[in-house]
Structures are given as structure tokens and as C-alpha cells.
A and B are shown apart, each in its own frame.
Chain A
Amino acid sequence: MIEIEHIDVFYGDLQALWDVSLNIGDGEIVTLVGSNGAGKSTIMHAISGILRPKTGSINYNGIRLERLPAHKIVDLGICLVPEGRKLFPQMSVLEHLEIGASRKAARKVKDDTIEWIYQLFPILKERAKQKGGTLSGGEQQMLAIARALMTLPKLLLLDEISLGLSPIAVQNIYQVINSINESRKLAIFMVEQDVTMALSLANRGYVIENGRILEQGDAKSLLSSSRVKEAYLGIAPTG
């Protein structure tokens, strides 16, 4: 559904991505593995329209994304859950959900989507009137995901959603995401600190280092790849 071809991305004069190509198919879960500063978030930002690639193209079902502003990309059905959640501290949980439903297609079915969200994350229903800034870390992350789901995306981008959460909270959130992937055929592209978890959830994966894609393939084969083992799983190569 989305094909990124040979993109170079810069922060000012500083190049962050070199000739990055990757693709995500309908309903697929794809993960991006790499160390801090390797360019994982940069790829997320390039897809969601916060950053513009200098060269290369991003094709989404035949539509070129690389020159569109962020809100247009949301309109097309791609939504990013940004690193650090980026909630609106002074707005209530319900208002977050309503803002998520801003695009026309989502506005019409807003009430149904909210009902669905409340089934996925019942705690958000209890907190509906509470301000975003007063929620616990896990609840905030649920709200950030819920806000993105309100846009009715076909591709959901998740940027380190486990950051600062307890292992149980992380497990709960990924259980929900997995179920949505199955029930709604929602494609997911995610970046995670916990490489083992990410690769066990995903169908496919990419390894990125210093702004370049080094390796790609089946999640299972990546888990057993010596580079991944050595660099991210802390397992020294044997023999």
C-alpha cells in the first residue's frame, strides 16, 4: 500500500537518511529496528508529512505523499502516534477523540468510533471528562493511540509507544493493537526499543543504521540474523 523509494532526508544541512527504500503491504505489521539516532523517527516523520524528503518518492496507493502537508496525509488514511504522545494537556479525553475525528470521513461516524474506542480502552470512558495532562503514562499512551484511531487510518505509524510504560501496560497496548490489525486489516509500521518484542509481533522488519537500511526480511529470519543478535539482542556470535 505504501512504497518509499530512495528518499534522502535532511535536517537543515544535516543529512539524516540516505537512499532509504521500504514498503508496507495491506494489513501488514512491519517494524523498524535500529539504535538511537539511526533515523527511525525521521522515516516516520517523512511518511507523515512533518519532514519533506529532498529526493526520492513516497507512493501511497498511487498518490505521491512527499509534497503533501501533514493534515492531507491524515486525510488519506495514514496516522502517526508520535514519540512522547504529544497530547493536548488542557483538553479533555473526549475532546482529544473529537479532534482525532476531524477529517470528513471520520466526522460522520464519530460516535460509532468513540464507542469502539471505549470498548478497546474502557479506562478512557471512565476518564472521558479528565484533562489529557492529568492521566497516568499508560492512559496517556492509550489516548494517543485512540486519538490516532479516531482518524480511521488504514496505516498506523507507532513511534516508540512503549517508552516510559510498565511492561504490563506495554503488553496490554500491543494486545489491543494486534487485535485491531486482525479485525480491521489495519496496516502497522512500528518502531520499538524492545527489538525481540517488535520482531515477534511483526510480519517483516527492516534494520536501519546511521540513516541507511542495512537489512530486511521476515521478522523470524531477522531474529536469527547475526547482525541483529549482536547489535540489538546482546547475543555474541558463536562460531
Chain B
Amino acid sequence: MGDFIQIIAYGVITGSVYGLVAMGLGLMMGVMKFLNIAHGSFIVLSGYIAFWLSQLWGIDPFLSIPLVIIAMFLVGLLLYKLALSPLLKLPNVGARMDLSMLITFGLIYIMDNAMAMLWTPNIRSAVTSYSGESINLLGARFSIIGLCSLGIAVLTAVALYLLLSKTYFGKHVRAATQDAQAASLCGVNVHRTYLISCGIAIALAGVAGVIIVTSYSISPTGGLSWLLIAFVVMILAGEGNIYGILPAGIIVGLVESVSVLTVGIAFRQAAALIIFILILMFRPQGLFSKGE
């Protein structure tokens, strides 16, 4: 029984990080149909920012989240202004998605190499005074950092939900997602809505980066493996279904941890990818999206 709870706890905590990792990717894809291949590199970049803040100024990684959010939000605005907004002139959404992939693919090389120059290729992680500490609950051990990550993931998802459903900005985002031209005819400034959405998407990568540098570790080329996870989670939730991303992340986390118990740790990632393939084969619209 204790083992079972432990596995579930592990799965939920890992899964919440996975959900957080996919949120920015899903937002950008859902709202603007930009497929940001460099999403993992933005996560790693924000991990380095948190790492620096903790190494140079001794700021606790979890407390540095607001700073990282602001920094990455600005990076997101730059990304939109410099690289992505010209794509909106393209006549169709398919071409926009294809070219956004190409552009952000190039960005991976620029970012990964720049980060290797700035922070060396060594693997880094932010260590806190409470790293490695844990509490016992229901016969299972929960690491403090894991619980904090779970809390932040849930908080972020709730904040995103409230932003999109309750505010004028959120309504503009959803209107522009469903019909950009109709939205502009209602007086919505679609370009500004996209600009801010892009900032938020990269800021979400920022939150994920902080969690990853504290509970895992980062290296300049580590972004791709996080991108892969983000893809699996986004497809599982269903493209454009931003609210389904955290639950989908937790499902992937649970499948991984259960597979560790049943088929062995070597197959952990394989299990997640098998779900990915099964979803693409049988429910390409995602688990939580209703069919067209």
C-alpha cells in the first residue's frame, strides 16, 4: 500500500512539472498556431536565470519566480516582435505553423550555443537549504521541493484559467483564437493580444524552468528532451485545449511512474511515447477535446 501511494505521489508531482512544461507551448500553439520548437531552450534559459539569481545573489529559486516571469515575459515580447509577427502576413495558417517551426528550430541552435558560452556546458542545478528534505504522509515520502513544484504548477494553471476566462484580455485571446478577423471587427486589437499571449507563453516556460533547475538539473542542450515531453502532453490534452494541459501532464507522469513499478525504470520514457503514438492513432483530437 505504501509503495502504491508512493508511486502515485511521485507520478502526480512529476506530472505536474510536465504539465507546467507544456503550458506555454500549448498556449502559443492554441492561440496563434505558432509551433515553438525552441520552447525547451526557453525553459533551460529561465533555469539558468534562476540558477544565477541563486548563485550570485542567494535568491531562493522559488522566490525568484516573479523575477524570472518578468524577464521571460520580455523575452517573449522580443520573440514575437522580431521573429514571429512577420509570419502573420502569410495567407494561411498552415504556412504560419510550418515557418514558425523552422524559425524556432534555428533559434534552438542560437540559444543552446549562446547558453553554452555563457554558462559552460556543465550540468547545473540550484541547490537550496531544503533540497533533499522530505515529509512523511500516509506512509509515503514527499520531498519538499516536489510539493512546492506541485503547488506552483496548480497555482499557475488556476491563474491561467482565471486570466483566460474572467478578464477582457482572456476573452480577446479566445475570440482571436476562434476567428481573428471577426475579433478585429469587434474592436479587438489582435496583434496586441498575440504579443501579450506570446509574452505569457514564454513566461510560462520561465516558471517551468525554475522548477526544473531546482528539482532536476539543466544543461545547454537539455531543452529538446523537455520539448518532447511538452509535445506528448500537448497532444494528449488536445491541441488548443489549454485547460486540459495540467491534467494531461499528470496522466503522463502517472503512466511513467506506474511503468517504473511494473516494467522497469528502463522503459519509463518509452511508456510515455507509446501513449503519444496511441493517442495520435486513436484520438488525434486529444483526450479531453470533443471531436469536431
Interface residues of A (CB under 8 A from B): 48-50, 69-71, 74-75, 79-80, 82, 86-91, 95, 98-100, 102-103, 106-107, 147-148, 150-151
Extra contacts besides A71-B187, A71-B188 (5): CB < 8 Å: A79-B187, A86-B181, A89-B178, A99-B172, A99-B186
Contact assessment for B188 and A102 in the assembled complex, using a CB-CB cutoff below 8 Å: yes
CB distance from B69 to the nearest CB of A (A): 26
Give chain B's interface residues, CB within 8 Å of chain A: 168, 171-172, 174-175, 178-179, 181-191
Beta-carbon contact of A88 and B188 below 8 Å: no
Min distance, Cβ B106 to any Cβ of chain A, angstroms: 29
What are 19 pairs between A and B in contact, CB < 8 Å? A74-B184, A74-B185, A75-B187, A79-B185, A82-B182, A88-B183, A91-B171, A91-B175, A99-B172, A99-B186, A100-B187, A102-B172, A102-B186, A102-B187, A102-B188, A103-B187, A106-B187, A148-B186, A150-B186
In the complex, which residues of chain B have a beta carbon less than 8 angstroms from the beta carbon of A147? 186
Counting chain B CB atoms within 10 Å of each CB, the highest count among A50, A91, A148, A150 belongs to A91
Q: In the complex, how many angstroms separate the beta carbon of B164 from the nearest chain A beta carbon?
A: 11
Please tell me if the beta carbons of A70 and B184 are within 8 angstroms of each other in the complex: yes
Residues of B within 8 A of A90 (CB): 174, 178
- Report the Cα distance A147→B188, complex, angstroms: 12
Give the CA-CA distance A91 to B170 in the complex, in Å.
Answer: 12
Determine the distance from Cα of A7 to Cα of B181 in the docked complex, in whole angstroms.
22
Find A88's partner among B168, B174, B187 (CB 8 Å cutoff). B174
With contacts A99-B171, A99-B172 taken as known, whether A86 is within 8 angstroms of B185 at the C-beta atoms is yes
| Chain A residues within 8 Å of B189, by CB | 69, 71
Given A86-B181, A87-B182, A88-B179: A98 in contact with B187 (beta carbons within 8 A): no
A80 touches B174 (CB 8 A): no
**Contact A82-B168, Cβ < 8 Å, known A88-B175, A90-B178, A99-B175:** no
Nearest residue, chain B, Cβ from A150: B186
| Chain B residues within an 8 Å CB radius of A49 | 184
- List B contacts of A107 (CB < 8 A): 168
**Smallest CB-CB separation from B192: which chain A residue?**
A71
Q: Which residues of A contact B182 (CB under 8 A)?
A: 82, 86-88
Q: Are A74 and B174 in contact (CB under 8 A)?
A: no
Do B174 and A100 touch (CB < 8 A)? Answer: no
Per CB-CB distance, the 3 closest pairs between chain A and chain B, nearest first, are: A74-B187, A86-B182, A70-B184
**Which residue of chain A has the shortest Cβ distance to B183 in the bound complex?**
A99
Rounded to whole angstroms, the CA-CA distance of A100 and B175 in the bound complex is 11
Cross-chain contact B188 with A99 (CB below 8 angstroms): yes
Residue pair B190, A71 in contact (C-beta under 8 Å): yes
Chain B residue with minimal CB distance to A157?
Answer: B185
Instruction: Please indicate the chain A residues that have their CB under 8 angstroms from the CB of B187 in the complex.
Output: 71, 74-75, 79, 100, 102-103, 106, 151
Chain A residue with the shortest CB-CB distance to B174: A91
- Residues of A contacting B191 in the complex (Cβ-Cβ under 8 angstroms): 69
Distance A102 CA – B184 CA, assembled complex (angstroms): 10
A86 vs B38: C-alpha distance when bound (angstroms) = 34
In the complex, what distance in Å separates the CA atom of A119 from the CA atom of B260? 62
Kindly report which residue of chain B lies nearest to residue A70, judged by CB atoms.
B184
Q: Are A95 and B171 closer than 8 Å at their CB atoms?
A: yes
**Chain A: minimal CB distance from B167 (Å):** 10
Nearest Cβ in chain A — how far from B124, in angstroms?
42
B292 to chain A, nearest CB (A): 11
Cβ contact within 8 Å between A100 and B171 = no
Cα-based distance from A98 to B178 in the complex (angstroms): 16
Q: B184 contacts which chain A residues (CB < 8 A)?
A: 49-50, 69-71, 74
Q: Kindly list chain A residues whose C-beta atoms are within 8 Å of the C-beta of B188.
A: 71, 99, 102
Docked Cα-Cα span, A49 to B190, in Å, equals: 13
Instruction: Give every chain B residue within 8 A of A148 (Cβ-Cβ).
Output: 186
Most interface-central of B181, B185, B191 (chain A CB within 10 A): B185
A98–B190 touching, CB < 8 Å: no
Please, which residues of chain A bring their CB within 8 A of the CB of B171? 91, 95, 98-99
Q: How far is the CB of B50 from chain A (nearest CB, A)?
A: 36
A71 and B185 alpha carbons, distance in the complex (Å): 6
